[in-house]
Homo-oligomer: A and B are copies of this chain.
Amino acid sequence: MARVVVDVMPKPEILDPQGQAVANALPRLGFSGIGSVRQGKHFELEVDDSVDDATLAKIAETFLANPVVEDWVVRRVES
């Protein structure tokens, strides 16, 4: 089994209300020096060694991200 991580983030030109809420709350709560916060999704998959990168790319594009409004990165990690 291999471990695969997929990070999905809203595209830069897309508003991110959740991230903005965090960014606005932090100074109010005494934390300064935070410029911007963006929130996305983080997936961890356990896949058979037989699953190739093309299949993983297809899974990420089709099921994990919405290509219209999101960017994503697929990477294999040491387990």
Contacts and interface: CB of A to CB of B under 8 A. Distances in A.
B45 A42 contact: no
Contacts of A36: 45-46
Contacts of A31: 55, 58-59
Interface in A22-72: 22, 25-26, 29, 31-48, 50-51, 55, 58-59, 62-64
A25 to B, nearest CB: 7
A24 to B, nearest CB: 11
A9 B45 CA distance: 12
Given A33-B48, A40-B44, A41-B41, 10 more contacts: A9-B42, A26-B59, A29-B62, A29-B63, A31-B58, A33-B51, A34-B45, A34-B46, A39-B42, A39-B43
